[in-house]
Amino acid sequence: MFRKHHGQIDHAEYLHLFETGQTPKFLIVGCCDSRVDPALVFDCAPGDLFVIRNVANIVPPAEDRIGHHGTTAALEYGVCNLGVEHVVVLGHAHCGGILSLLQTSGTSNPDSYIDDWMSLVESARASVEKI
């Protein structure tokens, strides 16, 4: 389907990207919400953006090497290997991750991956509630 709709139209561009590799200038940390596609938001061509998507576009703090660090690994790759010049954290309205954070009011379900992930920004929620 992709090749049918896009491959024929931009064949030379895709061939160039295949042969030369990617050299994006922007790294976008965006939400995985299906309604917010960074390439569409910024009207970019393939190869223009290096995109990391996760729940609520969170950039986690650097931590010990124990566990899985997909967002951190992708940031490292974009900056150190691709040499991106700009890092943009792209938020959006009606984010389900942020809504879940606000609804938990600081309580967390130990069996929920989302609650655990959203706990990374608990201090931001607490700060907003003080206002």
Known catalytic residue at 80: no
The DSSP code for 97 is H
Task: Check: CB of residue 52 under 8 Å from CB of residue 112.
Answer: no
Known catalytic residue at 65: no
Residue in 44, 48, 69, 92 annotated catalytic: 92
Known catalytic residue at 33: yes
Residue in 3, 5, 35, 94 annotated catalytic: 35
Q: How many CA atoms lie within 13 A of 91 on its CB side?
A: 8
Distance of CA 93 to the CA centre of its chain: 15
Q: How far is CA 60 from CA 9, 65, 68, 85, in A?
A: 38, 13, 12, 20
Joined tokens for residue 121: 């920004």
Residue in 44, 69, 95, 115 annotated catalytic: 95
Known catalytic residue at 92: yes
Known catalytic residue at 44: no
Name the residues annotated as catalytic: 31, 33, 35, 92, 95
